[in-house]
Structure 1
């Protein structure tokens, strides 16, 4: 009661429309094709039930006390006491909001106010017993107000109250035609012409047979186009029950096809007997089923078919007998059917073959397939595939392989045929041929499922390079291949999917897809789980790295950045991109990734990688970036050393010297002294510098500091020899190289072995002696540089 009162209050106050109000009571969406019986509740009051048993609408009778008050209200209204009558009506609504009488009186009270009068009339009609005329009157008022939705509801209610009246149905159809003409959004009405057709077929009596058949055919055609076969069968069954005598052979054919599609074979047999003149002799036997229960089973013994029966109906009869298990009859009828020309009845051959194969009767199915594949009209890939599968199930493996190859002649990319041939060849031990048959031509539409299966087979037989190639093709389903540098720039800056790249190419007037992109079959549902994709991607990288396929690594890592399934691994992917760029010597793109990495993860590894990349970049445009990078770096040693090295390489020696001196002041280690000395010697070698001797003396002083701090005789002697060698003071250079040869090795490392400068020192001595003393030069080569 509280819910009823609340709904009524909302409607009367304008918070909800009548369409919304009525929807709270019943669902009109499927009312057009459901015949709802009228039932009574426990109080004897009639109400309507939907197919699911939900309340649609109910009719309430006023109790004796309120009935008296209602009579008094009508009397006051007749006397002209309008205010008193209105108050009495509202009092009744307050106590019993689902009674129609007060709303009927209020509608008359508000005749001067069309809007309110219509509201009360709609409520009264909705709560009253069925009255189609009243709903038609309200529909006319709604039509004058151009309230199409309310008009449609009124027609629907009129049809529900008087469904056998064809005029009501026609008015609703005319309204739909009008709305279609003005392009009204009909989907908001939840009413379609198709549902109207179905309702007409369900509602009209058998005497309206021609009208029923007209709209049944319209409904079946649309249901068939929408692939709603169950509804198509429902409307055709309803029409058949009412006017089976009006069914033509074409209608019977359609009806049988729908019944067969829903596996109602017994009903089909009954229709053949009643409508097609087929005579069948059968017996009913009692058998035990698989659960041990007794059940009746029909055995079909004989069948007589009129010669005039159409061949397509004969084929449907055969199909029904196949599914009903009457194989003895099928064998007899099949001989007669095979006398028909394959060219004319090939499609019917296929229907019968499909039924035989599905029931496991492959010996009979091959009798239909043999003439089909020999026919020019049915020399098709799909027919050869059925032929091959039938032969395979019969155990004729060699013949099956030949038929599968015929499938590939017609459909070269057919995945099922390739799978079957692979299975057969693998079982015979012909592994290379089996793996080759899984290969697809990427110029055509490709099956992702078959690609995945090919990957599994290649991995099983350790064909790693081919596995890498096929795996890259499979990943390209969700990875992107970049066409130019701007796309890579966009991928690095944005965490997005491939759609952004496609939109970018469209804006540039380019094709959305890369020329080497693979076109996958969109009908397939193949999809790898994100974790599976990630593991597969890592495996591909490891294989590519192992076989030094560095450009493949680069393509894989770049493409992975735009993959939505790998979005959670973006940081790891960017580091893999850096590694791939380093291995493939793509230093410009490597610098792009190491910049981000160094800023997000400052560490010794980051500085070493950044320094490695910078050393190989041709352009010296990274100085400003380095200054910004180290602006807040608290480790002054790293900052001064890194910037000093960068400016030394770029030729800005004074700036480099400044950073080295700051570094040397803070740590006083041999490396800083050596770097300062090297910088000064390089400056002394410049023609534009005055006082070369002073610079050389300063450099030698720092070299001496380096020797004092570095406790390694071989290294210090070798470096001193290099300095004198550069200055062309050859006698001192020879002396220090000799000292380096006389010293022991620098260190021994478990990973890199012995660290020794003997060969380097000997080679430099060879260079000093080769022009003036070849014998001495040869001596150093033979004693120290022998492989």
Structure 2
């Protein structure tokens, strides 16, 4: 191959050649369109969007094109030269053309393919093949596209192909052809207009252009940078259009670039309004030295300056411009004066600025207040707060500028000057105009806290929940409340903060709905709709969307647990339940699902919501059958008002013959009044384990049955029941408890003399046990009360004796 492809190494050169062959072969085989093929070569459909590149491309020779390829993860940027055929291949190409002229198309085609096989990036064989296939519109078009791409840039050829593509309604490749034609003849305005006309047509028909690397503003920008200075009027027209579009999308630097390109070519066409807009863009993009050049060349400002050599922080010698004097025309508009001041401020010409500032301050504040603010902002950003104050004082004294933004600048300037007491007053003026301004509240809090006014500082952080809330300020309020030990207020504000990511309940009924495992949020929304409410954001807190504050998943979880701890320690059980149920509906719940469910269970128990507590303990006991879960299940079952757990217990122990199965089922049937079934389960358990609890439960079941009128042989049942009570007494080996329970049994049977005897024995015994956590476990008071009940009707004196001896607090 004759042409050289420069690259960083021989290996890269070989890679580039391989890429050329692969891309070309894919295109020829129909595996990619020409738009995709060109995109692979150029890295986009219009790689000339940058102004500097646009100028360079317009000066590039016609036999070169800039390429940017990714090879093996490395980016290669080079210029591909027009590939020339070797002498042998040139001869073969001539023979192919001769065969084509003679009508021997088959041989000519074979020769072209042979040349392509040896040198796939040469344009000549594709040009001939396009003519050979002129009766096949699709093949001829593809070969023409490839030939145009590989050959010396020819705008007319690209335009010819674009016309063909227009008839085929292949808009994307048509746009690509116009782009290539623009590169070939960047000074030709007609080509630019053809591309713009196509773009306008596509926009009108709402063609999807989002995935195209071509926009109207890029076309305008290209026109400005491509046309010669002789087309000044056209350049200015499209420069203003591009500037407007760039400014609308916030691309200030690009707006400045396009105006700079226009100014460099036709500065004489700039009106004073254009100069003002251009300077504003330059200042926004911090090109202050360029602004000074514009002032000197276009506004007739004379500046005296000297070049000084100084050492920078790296001990390197560099040049620094020292501005000494400035002569300003008397008729210069005040907005241009303010921009000149801003430029000198940022360029460090402080002494010159002081001189110019005196003249600037003579302007009427009523008319030039906005310009005062611009200059003040330049002073503040460069740390010259004393000078900034000279501009702020006239503003705050003027009723037209009694605004929150002005007072905020005034307060910040005072704070930076160390005048904190004055700054407090100014910050309060800010809050008067903008009560929900987060920065003002935040800075005022810092000053008040520093001065020891803690209560006032904490009150400043409080936001009105009826309006839009700033979440970052809410979090800072939580930290401050925690720091100064305000737990209940911390709980209130923390719950408000968590509603940003958790559901906030409006009605008590929504807690029950949230307790459901699936569809909680959707059911709550349906419930609100049924009540005639808006499911979203009607009464909920509204957070500021512009604030990007967001707790990480771990931090939010730790914050949530801290709130639960505060709620629990201060017995705010309703809040605890509300928080835990909200977390259950969170999208992050799967990560901490088990923990959240247990917190919900605890909150339900503490809040006496036993129905929901039973739902959670049901799930726990199915997943983890342990002594603790069975104890919790038993606790909840005993607290339930309704007997709705029978079927669940039957299913729970249907397959698993757990040691507690008989006790649980027996107790369940006992409480539901099915004494014979309960007795069956208690006897099964007693036969296996011979424990005192089982003997006691058997005795209770039999004695309850004996008390029923529908049962025969009452005396026989009573004897059996008391027999099991004696068995219980022997197995329990705890005199106070066993005597107390024996007394209760006889009292229930109305055998009061024996009841009194056993109660007296219980009183004579010591306490049951000592517990380090719960203290002494003793039945003395219960025993004495039962004796009081037995004696109060028949022997009041004995009743008083027990009352005063054991039951006086």
Q: Fold-level match, TM-score > 0.5?
A: yes
Q: Would the alpha carbon gap of residues 521 and 785 (structure 1) be closer, same or farther in structure 2, given more than 3 Å must change?
A: same
Aligned partner (choices 292, 299, 302) of residue 325 of structure 2: 302
Structure 1's 757 and 189: CA in aligned 2 closer, same or farther, altered over 3 A?
Answer: closer
The answer on whether the counterparts of 1:18 and 1:122 sit within 8 Å (CA) in structure 2 is yes
Matches within 5 A, 1:709-748: 709-748=731-770
Counterparts of 1:199 and 1:750, CA distance in 2:
87
Summarize the alignment of residues 279-294 of structure 1 with structure 2, pairs less than 5 Å apart: 279-294=302-317
Q: Which residue of 2 aligns with 1:131?
A: 154
Give runs of aligned pairs for residues 641-680 of structure 1, distance below 5 A: 641-680=663-702
Aligned to 1:30: 47
Is 1:16 equivalent to 2:39 in the alignment? no
1:5 paired to 2:27:
no
Mapped partners of 1:514, 1:596: distance in 2? 33
1:513 and 2:531 correspond: no
User: Counterpart in 2 of 1:240?
Assistant: 263
Residue matched to 1:340? 363
Out of 782, 793, 798, the residue aligned to residue 760 of structure 1 is: 782
Unmatched runs of 5 consecutive residues or more in structure 1: none
What is residue 48 of structure 1 aligned with on the other side? Answer: 66
How far apart are residue 31 of structure 1 and its match? 2.1
* Superimposed CA distance per residue, residues 157-215 of structure 1 (whole angstroms, 9 cap, x where no aligned partner): 11110010000000011111111121111223321111100110011111111111111
**Which residue in 1 is equivalent to 2:124?**
101
Give the secondary structure class of the aligned counterpart of 1:108.
helix
Aligned to 1:301, the other structure's residue is in SS state strand
Alignment CA distance shift 1:490-1:454 (3 Å): closer
Post-superposition Cα deviations, 1:9-66, rounded to whole Å, max 9, x if no partner, equal 221221110101111211224324432448999xx97443579972475420000000
Residues 618 and 735 (structure 1), Cα distance of their counterparts in 2 relative to 1, 3 Å cut:
same
2 CA distance for matches of 1:360 and 1:772?
97
Aligned to 2:110: 87
State which drifts further: 2-11 or 73-82: 2-11
Residues in 1 aligned to 2:406 and 2:20: alpha-carbon distance in whole angstroms: 64
Q: How far apart, in 1, do the equivalents of 2:177 and 2:291 lie?
A: 40
Compared CA separation, residues 2 and 274, structure 1 to 2 (3 A): closer
Kept in 2, the 8 Å contact 1:495–1:567? The answer is no
Structure 2 match to 1:419: 442
Contact 1:483/1:514, CA 8 A, preserved across alignment: no
Deviation at 1:596, TM superposition (A): 0.9
User: 2:624 maps to what in 1?
Assistant: 601
Kept in 1: contact 2:511–2:578 (CA 8 A): no
2:309 is paired with a residue of what secondary structure? strand
CA distance in 2, matches of 1:270, 1:166: 30
Q: Residues 132 and 158 of structure 1 are in contact (CA less than 8 Å); yes or no, is this contact kept in structure 2?
A: yes
* Pairs within 5 Å for 1:323-338: 323-338=346-361
Residue 635 of structure 2: which of 599, 606, 612 is its match?
612
Q: Give, in angstroms, the shift of residue 307 of structure 1.
A: 2.2
Preserved contact between residue 42 and residue 66 of structure 2 (Cα < 8 Å): no
- Give 1:559-638 correspondences, 5 Å limit: 559-565=582-588, 567-635=590-658, 637-638=659-660
C-alpha offsets along residues 235-290 of structure 1, whole Å, 9 cap, x if unaligned? 11100011110011111111101111121111111111111121222222333333
Equivalence for 2:730: 708
Are positions 1:395 and 2:411 aligned together?
no
Q: How far apart are the structure 2 equivalents of 1:361 and 1:758? A: 83
Name 2:301's counterpart in structure 1: 278
Deviation at 1:494, TM superposition (A): 4.3
Contact 1:765 1:780 in 2 (8 A): yes
- Picking from 548, 554, 558, the partner of 1:535 is 558
Summarize the Cα distance change of 1:143–1:341 in structure 2 as closer, same or farther, 3 Å threshold: same
Matched, 1:479 2:491: no
- Correspondence for 1:695: 717
Instruction: Find 2:220's aligned residue among 197, 202, 222.
Output: 197
**Conserved? CA contact 1:76–1:84, under 8 Å:** yes
Question: Residues 507, 316 of structure 1: CA spacing in aligned structure 2 closer, same or farther, 3 A cutoff?
Answer: farther
1 CA distance for matches of 2:256 and 2:341?
A: 21
Aligned CA distance change for structure 1 residues 510 and 255 (closer, same or farther; 3 Å): same
Does structure 2 conserve the Cα–Cα contact (< 8 Å) formed by 1:37 and 1:49? no
Partner of 2:5: none
Runs of 4+ in structure 1 over 6 Å off:
38-41, 50-53, 498-509
Contact 1:223 1:229 in 2 (8 A): yes
Aligned to 2:170: 147
1:187 aligns with 2:210: yes
What is the aligned partner in structure 2 of residue 207 from structure 1? Answer: 230
Deviations 1:106-136 (A, max 9, x none): 1111111111111111111111101000111
Is 1:316 paired with 2:339? yes
**Alignment CA distance shift 1:516-1:629 (3 Å):** farther
TM-score between the two structures when normalised by the length of structure 1 = 0.95
SS of 1:308 mapped into structure 2? coil
1:755-774 Cα shifts (integer Å, max 9, x gaps): 33222222211111111211
In 2, are the aligned partners of 1:58 and 1:127 still within 8 Å (CA)? no
Greater Cα shift, 581-590 or 757-766: 757-766
Calculate the aligned-residue CA RMSD, in Å: 2.4
Query: Which sections of structure 2, spanning at least 5 residues, go unmatched?
Result: 1-16, 70-74
**What is the rounded CA distance, in whole Å, between the counterparts of 2:387 and 2:673 in structure 1?**
89
Shift of residue 690, structure 1, vs aligned partner? 3.9
Name the stretch that deviates more: 247-256 or 374-383. Answer: 374-383
Stretch of structure 1 that moved more, 71-80 or 461-470:
461-470
Equivalenced residue count is: 783
Partner of 1:189, secondary structure, is coil
Contact kept, 8 Å, 1:480 with 1:562, in 2: the verdict is yes
Find the partner of 2:86 among 54, 63, 70.
63
Residue among 514, 517, 523 paired with 1:493: 517
Query: 1 CA distance for matches of 2:18 and 2:218?
Result: 35
Which residue number in structure 2 is paired with residue 116 of structure 1?
139
Q: Check 1:216–1:509 CA distance in 2 against 1; reply closer, same or farther (3 A cut).
A: farther
**1:732-752 residue CA offsets vs partner (Å, 9 max, x unmatched):** 211221222233333333333
Q: CA deviation at 1:291?
A: 2.7
Task: Determine if contact 2:46/2:179 at 8 Å carries over to the other structure.
Answer: no
> Does the 8 Å CA contact 2:96/2:108 hold for their aligned counterparts?
yes
* TM-score normalised by length of structure 2: 0.92
Question: Shift of the alpha carbon at 1:566?
Answer: 5.5
User: How many Å apart are 1:97 and its aligned residue?
Assistant: 0.4
Return closer, same or farther for 1:486/1:467 CA change in 2, 3 Å cut-off: closer
Q: In the superposition, relative to structure 1, how do residues 533 and 707 fare at CA in structure 2: closer, same or farther (>3 Å)?
A: same
SS in 1 for 2:66: strand
User: 3-state SS of the aligned residue for 1:313?
Assistant: helix
Q: Work out the CA distance in 2 between the residues paired with 1:270 and 1:675.
A: 103
